[in-house]
Amino acid sequence: MASGSRTRLLIGILSACIVLAVTLAVAAKLFVSRFDAIENAQTLRKSEQLVQAVDADLSQLAISARDYGQWDQMYQYIRHPTQDFVDVNFTPYSLAGMEVDMVGILNAHGELVFSAELLERQRRLRYPAPPDLLRLFLHLRDEPHDWRDRVPVERIVDSPRGPIAFSMVEINRSDKSDPTGAFLLFVRYFDPDEIMRIAQTSQLPATMTRIGGAAPERAELPADVRRWIATADAPMIFATNVDDEHAMSYALLRDMHGQPVGLLSAPSKRDIGTLGRRTTFMLIGAIALVLVACAGSLTWLVLRLRQSWRLQVEAERRHRQTLDHVGEHDSLTELPNRAHLRKRLPQLLQAAAEAGRPLTLLYVDLDHFKHINESLCHRIGDQLIKIVAQRVQAATRPADIVIRSGGDEFVVVAPMLDSMLEIRTLASRLLTTLREPIPLPDATVSMTASIGVAVYPHDGIDAEALLKHADIALYRAKELGRDNFQLFDAKMNTELSEHVAIEQALRRAIGSEQIYLEFQPLVDLQSGRLTSFEALARWRHPELGVVSPGRFIPVAEKSGLIVPLGEQILRMVIEQLAEWQRASVPLAPVAVNVAPLQFERADFPARCHELASQHGLDPKWLSFEVTESAWLQNSTRSVAMIDTLRQAGSKVYLDDFGTGFSNLSYLKHLPIDAVKIDQAFVRNISVDPSDAAIVRGVLAMAKQLGIDTIAEGIETAEQLDCLREMGCHRGQGYYFSKPVPANQCRALLEQMGEMRRFTETVKARALECVAKQVQAPAA
């Protein structure tokens, strides 16, 4: 009886274990399926990233084509072609800057006026462009399509070179008022550089396969991918699992007829699926434990076996850790070695990618260590390496990894350096630490180091690329004389050459008549009266022509030339005001932009007052526009300088308010007269509720603080009405007037003495006065 009860109990327990095991197995299956579904969706999203990257690339190409094609100078060129125009506007640097590989211009009769192909590696142009590509686009032009649409058309076509992107736009004036029937063509090849740009935009390791026509690469694709491509009206994206650990995202490139011509692909790891499978294994293990626990007669033996197994695994783990440590660490310094770097760096890059954070790699090389080591004995050299290793570790953060990659080279892997300032600070700290003399028993050794810096993902998305680019930057640092650090830049040589050329030309231009002024009126939005002007620096180079301020002002700021340039602009403004004052012209205040470097000079207010006194000008006719960055660098000193300027009678405006770190916490402590609302918020104020809300908030804040408000970039009557309704005090922009030369500005001031409102009549009379002044000397 007792035996029968034990049997039935055992059967009941076993039955319950079986039911539980089946239940857990089904649940685990559903759990893994859910993980797989999430992973598949993630892989498809990566395919969408590829499509979005291509769309963004084509849009950029179309914008470049529109800017060139719908341009008054291009319109004049198609009417009267000149070699000077193409020599100036279609250079290797300009095409490379727009990432355009081929350009063509066809006149209204379909005849080719100009064509060229950019030879990227040789940095030169080949004239004319390849005939096979020109014939292809001439054929496309004759196909039924409304190419004369004023919106640029961007398409992809197949060619013997593979898929290529092009944008064709009808040549027109800048205001699109006179279509010519001629066309401008910009072409971009899907070459390795283009694929790299798509990879950087999508932040995926993208590659491309030709699949147009009878491309042999198409047959090498997996069967499911070939079936997807062959399907009529196939979707643009596709994803498939390569194996249990890897997946592949795909995106089709279709030509203008909808035919597939290229296939973008990006591999990825199936981390989510792996997690699901691991979870399944854990569930199966739990079931196994439950079943083992139900076997009461074997409990003691199972526990013994498990204990023995754990001891064996632990011993094996310790042994493996010992072997791993020896194989991945340098015996001299006990630092991780190159083998550890090769193993660990891809993991750190993956973690950085998942967290969306940068990863910085610093390649440190001791300068002339070989000579030091040879002049001393090798035992002393080993001591030096140990001390250097300790100093490098001391100069880094706990989260950083210091590796001795061999000889006198070290690598620092620094995660989570989110700004260039932090990266530069770390590199500078390393250089400073390594410059300190090293005391030895018989001598004191001094040495320096060179450092190359590469940052993920900007400078590379894999370990090999990052190490290579850090090494290139290290080589650059040694070229520049050692004992410095350099950040990797793929266009370092080109950009440096252009920068130096502009800097040298600007250095020669400062102090000469190449630098001149234009003035833009500021108007009271309620009364319509002209209240003041803003002085704007202009540069007319004898060969380059008028150089855009957006091109030379940044160079001046980086090189320090902004200080003498700003001094010249200030002097020219004061001299112009003094000239008008002597001619009894009614004056209006003129605002001068002050760069951060100028504002750092403690004698800036004194210099302004000195120049004004030399020319007999009251400082009240001067206003100064200061950016937020200039104030934030030293708020206490900035407040004192602003107080000095205002006590002399000058006004001080906070320029580009809203584009930096604008907030009430510091604005209420800053003794300024007005804030200038950046044109980025004014541009869409009449159609974008967000911009309108931002402007309204700034105006309300300024009103509470008793600060005047000035809106920049007013171009339409709608914008003016919105700002006037919101209570903005003053404004400037092309709606009122473009920046005008000094003689027209004087004419405006003289007309304002007779007519108080800034109207079209005032501007017309001012222009008449200027015309008479020009004609008088001729007579």
* pLDDT > 80? residue 70: yes
What pLDDT shows up at residue 673? 93
What pLDDT shows up at residue 494? 60
- Percent of residues, the chain, with pLDDT higher than 90: 32
What pLDDT shows up at residue 468? 87
Instruction: Say which residue, 302 or 232, is predicted with more confidence.
Output: 232
Question: How far is 118 from 28, CA to CA, in rounded Å?
Answer: 58
* pLDDT > 90? residue 478: no
What pLDDT shows up at residue 710? 96
Amino acid at residue number 760: E
Average pLDDT over every residue of 355-379: 84
Which band of pLDDT confidence, cut at 50, 70 and 90, is reported for residue 198? confident
Question: How far is 602 from 701, CA to CA, in rounded Å?
Answer: 30
Instruction: Say which residue, 392 or 22, is predicted with more confidence.
Output: 392
Which band of pLDDT confidence, cut at 50, 70 and 90, is reported for residue 659? low
* pLDDT > 60? residue 71: yes
Annotation: CATH topology of 46-276: Beta-Lactamase (3.30.450)
Which band of pLDDT confidence, cut at 50, 70 and 90, is reported for residue 196? confident
Question: For residue 205, how many C-alpha atoms fall within 13 Å in the half-sphere facing its CB?
Answer: 14
**Lowest-pLDDT range, 519-528, 656-665, 740-749?**
656-665
* pLDDT > 70? residue 226: yes
What mean pLDDT value characterizes the chain? Answer: 82
What pLDDT shows up at residue 716? 94
Highest mean pLDDT among 285-289, 454-458, 499-503, 574-578: 574-578
* pLDDT > 50? residue 776: no
What pLDDT shows up at residue 755? 44
CB 183 within 8 A of CB 74: no
The CATH number given to 338-490 is 3.30.70.270
What pLDDT shows up at residue 3? 52
Average pLDDT over every residue of 361-366: 93
Tens-digit pLDDT profile for residues 127-180: 888 887 777 776 666 654 544 454 465 678 877 778 888 888 889 998 888 898
CB 337 within 8 A of CB 329: yes
Instruction: Say which residue, 62 or 495, is predicted with more confidence.
Output: 62
- Percent of residues, the chain, with pLDDT higher than 70: 80
* pLDDT > 70? residue 181: yes
Q: Distance of CA 726 to CAs 279, 527, 698, Å? A: 60, 15, 10
**Extents of the domains making up the chain:** 46-276, 338-490, 513-739, 742-779
Question: How far is 362 from 467, CA to CA, in rounded Å?
Answer: 9
What pLDDT shows up at residue 779? 41
Contacts of 75 (CB under 8 A, 6+ apart): 171, 172, 173, 174, 178, 180
What pLDDT shows up at residue 754? 46
Instruction: Say which residue, 123 or 215, is predicted with more confidence.
Output: 123
What pLDDT shows up at residue 230? 75
In a 10 Å sphere around its CB, with 0-12 CB exposed, 13-18 middle and 19+ buried, how is residue 183 labelled? buried
What are 88's two structure tokens?
């100036």
What pLDDT shows up at residue 370? 78
* pLDDT > 60? residue 322: yes
Candidate CATH numbers 3.40.50.300, 3.40.50.720, 3.40.47.10, 3.20.20.450; the one for domain 513-739 = 3.20.20.450
Instruction: Say which residue, 450 or 747, is predicted with more confidence.
Output: 450
DSSP state letters, 222-253: -HHHHHHHHSTT--SEEEEE-SSSEEEEEEEE
Question: How far is 615 from 580, CA to CA, in rounded Å?
Answer: 11
Average pLDDT over every residue of 307-311: 78
Average pLDDT over every residue of 177-206: 86
Model confidence, pTM: 0.43
Tens-digit pLDDT profile for residues 33-55: 676 677 778 777 887 888 888 88
What pLDDT shows up at residue 778? 42
* pLDDT > 70? residue 605: yes
What pLDDT shows up at residue 732? 95
What are 166's two structure tokens?
């092009």
**Distance, C-alpha 524 to centroid of its chain:** 38
**Lowest-pLDDT range, 215-229, 344-358, 381-395?**
215-229
Coil, strand, or helix at residue 671?
A: coil
Highest mean pLDDT among 332-341, 655-664, 724-733: 724-733
Tens-digit pLDDT profile for residues 248-267: 888 888 877 778 878 888 88
Residue 602, number of CB atoms within 10 A of its CB: 10
